[in-house]
């Protein structure tokens, strides 16, 4: 819900930014990496960020991811230490409702015994929910503060993303972490032979092994990719529309931002829920006994 005039704060050398430049700037990252000449530092332009290559670090989204995740851990720890069975306060009831909600989803979707699944599901849901919620912060507020700070550190055109889940590196990092758990529990519960037999002999039996592999291997690899890209795509589209409204309408953006924000409030928790439920379903399948 951007409430400030997007183009007003985007003056570069006395010239007003175009809508395209405004959106491009807000979609860029505060990137740290190795420059072509060998020295390490922050990228000052999008071109410099691209030249840093794959090993460049998006400092802004990583910092917000760790800040939100660490803040959630400290908050839950504080509530846990203050929890009482006598007359719980409203905050304790709220936290317990989240625990009960996630625990119910695990009981419904996970048919085996594994004490790791419920904490994992809770972590995924809360962490993604908090990161998604940053999309409701006015689009110019925090980047504006960063731009003001950048003037004092020689980074006049500092980019600053505040929604970690609009970075595919974050969403795919989480989804491939889940994928590693899928492989680990599949081999742990079924053995290497059982895991490979599911890929080789399902769904048409051992006489159709080449066709089974053509179906099962892409299906397996598609899980982390679809899991990460679904979350990224929905949040990126939401952020982009906020920026388009801010860039085109300036001071008159508020009514349109409010309408989109009301709809987007549904997307924020829904995407966290979908990621959590698919994780539960995938890990439940990894615990199932071999069918062949």
Tell me, yes or no, if 177 is annotated catalytic: no
C-alpha dist (Å) from residue 227 to 66, 111, 114, 220: 21, 21, 22, 12
Helix (H) or strand (E) holding 32: strand 31-34
132, 159, 186, 234: which one is catalytic? 234
Helix (H) or strand (E) holding 58: strand 57-58
The bridge status of strand 15-16 relative to strand 31-34 is unpaired
Secondary structure of residue 117 in the 3-state scheme: helix
Tell me, yes or no, if 226 is annotated catalytic: yes
C-alpha dist (Å) from residue 43 to 31, 57, 145, 226, 255: 6, 10, 18, 30, 36
Contact predicate 24/31, CB 8 Å: no
CA–CA gap between residue 269 and residue 287 (Å, rounded) = 27
Contact predicate 199/220, CB 8 Å: yes
- Residue 4 sits at φ, ψ, to 5 deg, of -100, 160
Helix (H) or strand (E) holding 40: strand 40-42
Tell me, yes or no, if 81 is annotated catalytic: no
177, 189, 197, 230: which one is catalytic? 230
- Of 29, 13, 45, 4, the C-alpha closest to 247 is 4
CA–CA gap between residue 12 and residue 157 (Å, rounded) = 8
1 CB neighbour count, 10 Å cutoff: 19
Catalytic (active-site) positions: 226, 230, 234
């Amino acid at each position: 819900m951007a409430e400030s005039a997007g183009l007003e704060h985007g003056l570069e050398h006395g010239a007003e930014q175009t809508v395209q430049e405004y959106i491009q700037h807000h979609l860029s990252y505060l990137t740290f990496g190795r420059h072509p000449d060998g020295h390490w530092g922050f990228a000052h332009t999008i071109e410099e960020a691209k030249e840093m290559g794959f090993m460049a670090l998006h400092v802004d989204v990583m910092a917000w991811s760790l800040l939100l995740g660490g803040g959630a851990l400290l908050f839950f720890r504080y509530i846990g230490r203050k929890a009482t069975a006598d007359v719980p306060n409203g905050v304790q009831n709220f936290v317990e409702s989240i625990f009960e909600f996630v625990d119910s989803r695990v009981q419904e979707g996970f048919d085996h015994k594994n004490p790791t699944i419920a904490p994992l599901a809770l972590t995924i849901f809360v962490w993604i929910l908090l990161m998604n919620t940053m999309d409701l912060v006015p689009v110019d507020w925090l980047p504006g503060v960063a731009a003001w700070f950048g003037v004092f550190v020689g980074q006049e055109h500092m980019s600053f993303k505040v929604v970690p889940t609009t970075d595919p590196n974050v969403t795919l990092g989480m989804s491939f972490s889940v994928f590693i758990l899928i492989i680990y529990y599949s081999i742990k519960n079924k053995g290497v032979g059982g895991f490979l037999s599911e890929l080789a002999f399902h769904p048409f039996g051992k006489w159709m092994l080449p066709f089974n592999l053509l179906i099962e291997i892409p299906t397996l690899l598609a899980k982390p990719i679809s899991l990460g890209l679904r979350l990224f795509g929905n949040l990126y589209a939401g952020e982009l529309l906020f920026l388009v409204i801010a860039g085109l309408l300036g001071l008159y953006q508020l009514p349109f931002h409010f309408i989109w924000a009301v709809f987007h409030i549904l997307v924020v928790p829904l995407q966290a829920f979908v990621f959590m439920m698919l994780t539960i379903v995938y890990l439940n399948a990894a615990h199932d006994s071999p069918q062949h």
